[in-house]
A and B are shown apart, each in its own frame.
Chain A
Amino acid sequence: MSLVATYDPALSPAGAARPVVRRGLRQVSDVELRLKALMLLALDGDAAASNALLTALAPPLRRYFARRLGQDAAEVEDLVQETLIAVHTKRHTYDAHQPLTPWVYAIARYRLADHFRRNRRRGETALEDAGQLIAPGDFDAAEARRDLARLLEALPERQRRLVMDVKVEGRSIEETSARTGLSQSAVKVAVHRAVNALAKRFRDANG
């Protein structure tokens, strides 16, 4: 990103050909002042300011993560929420002498790096045999479908969607990976975990 002032005719009054600071930066500085004021109030224990701050941070964070993760809305939202939680619980690490937005983005960047690290780690457990994990039971198919639907409801939204895609609708790992923006191994492992969780639930439910 260049900090050099650029000329943007759209922002200039007619005839006045003056260079303007990049629009993004000017907006950031206005936003910065407002957000910092809210943060200082929030640090004083003002719940309304805290609410306004977190509400104002959510959309830019959503854009930040969406740009880096593709359009998997559930995953983006998870990271937005993780970041908001950190902004709240780690608020004492904000130095009031410094601008607020770099602090928030440092948290967002850290959460994103942590997200990639977790996915890579999960990805290391290669699971070629994930396909054999739903063993066909000896109950009839209709009952199985009904039970499956009930079991699936117990899964977190993201896992449920992956299981639906891969196991119920029969999409390939590659296809699901492309659709969700997750790596192929992350899809495999998430599905494997979900299926394990389902199997355990099923065993527990059936004594």
Chain B
Amino acid sequence: MQTDDLIAQLAGDRRSSSSMLRLLALAIVASLVGSFLVMMLGGWGMRPDLHQAMRTGPFWMKAGYSIAFAVAGVALIERLGRPGGRGRVGWMVLALAVAAIVALAVAELASMPMAGWHADMMGHSSQICALSITLISAPAFAAIVWMLRRMAPTRPHLAGIAAGLLASGLGATVYGLFCQETGAAFTAIWYTSAMLIWPAIGALVGGRLLRW
């Protein structure tokens, strides 16, 4: 086809294009619904004392930490989803969140005798935490990759990491409705490693999945 004909055809294309904001909102809603369904139908369910727990600090510490991952993911995708975009702010949010939880964990451990450290770090659910968060985040990752494919990332590996951060941030926030752990050290170790699994997968498959 001649380029001039192509241009006429493109300019005459009246379909409106979606907006970045709408895509992000759609993917986040789909992620939360998908993760929640996996949690409810997959045998986790919500903790029975959710109401009381929501009035305690540890619940919001965990929620705040996982939401910070999601915020970092959104900030990164908002940049890396565009041609030529870089994601400085998102990386900073991520670094601050990790630094904050590590500081809380260190303070927590410093306030107790060394003999209690092991129990504090392992909690009651260390064996299922990372796998649970990863599984519950899976539909979120799918929704977010779907969304990113409608954008135009020119650094697909970094965009894959961003997709993984957002997905596991949302998935871990949903998982927080089930998880009864209260420790900052537990959160720093297990939530962090859990929330790095999808970013790692995203880095590996981003080049393939996010090509356009």
Contacts and interface: CB of A to CB of B under 8 A. Distances in A.
Q: Do A and B come from one complex?
A: yes
Interface of A: 42, 45, 47-48, 50-51, 54-55, 58, 77, 80-81, 84-86, 88-95, 102-103, 105-107, 109-110, 114
Contacts of B151: 90, 93
A103 B82 contact: yes
Contacts of A77: 3
Do most interface residues of chain B lie in helix, strand or loop, or is the interface mixed?
loop
Given A81-B1, A92-B20, A106-B154, A50 B82 contact: no
A45 B12 CA distance: 10
Contact of A92 (B4, B13, B18, B154): B18
A93 B81 contact: yes
Given A80-B3, A84-B3, A84-B10, A110 B18 contact: no
A47 B12 contact: yes
Given A86-B212, A93-B152, A106-B154, 5 more contacts: A84-B3, A84-B7, A88-B10, A90-B151, A93-B151
Given A58-B3, A85-B6, A45 B83 contact: no
A50 B10 contact: yes
B71 to A, nearest CB: 19
A24 B81 CA distance: 29
A107 B141 CA distance: 25
Contact of A103 (B16, B81, B83, B211): B83
Interface in B92-146: none
A93 B20 contact: yes
A50 B13 CA distance: 10
B3 A110 contact: no
Nearest to B156: A110
A109 B1 CA distance: 22
A102 to B, nearest CB: 6
Given A88-B13, A92-B18, A54 B83 contact: no
Contacts of A50: 10-11
B14 interface: yes
B19 interface: yes
Contact of A109 (B8, B12, B154): B154
A176 to B, nearest CB: 25
Contact of A95 (B4, B8, B82, B212): B82
Contacts of B212: 86, 90
Contacts of B152: 86, 90, 93, 107, 110
B43 interface: no
B48 interface: no
Contacts of A84: 3, 6-7, 10
A45 B10 contact: no
A89 B4 CA distance: 17
Contacts of A48: 11
Given A90-B151, A92-B17, A106 B84 contact: yes
A196 B72 CA distance: 50
B77 to A, nearest CB: 11
Contacts of B13: 88
Nearest to A105: B84
B83 A107 contact: yes
Given A93-B151, A103-B83, A81 B20 contact: no
Nearest to A92: B17
The 7 A-B pairs of least Cβ separation, nearest first, read A106-B84, A106-B83, A51-B11, A90-B152, A50-B11, A92-B17, A88-B10
B203 to A, nearest CB: 18
A89 B8 contact: no
A126 B8 CA distance: 40
Nearest to A43: B17
Interface string B9-49: 01111101111100100000000000000000000000000
18 contacts: A47-B12, A50-B11, A51-B7, A51-B11, A54-B11, A55-B4, A81-B1, A81-B3, A85-B6, A88-B10, A90-B17, A90-B151, A90-B152, A93-B83, A94-B82, A102-B84, A109-B154, A110-B83
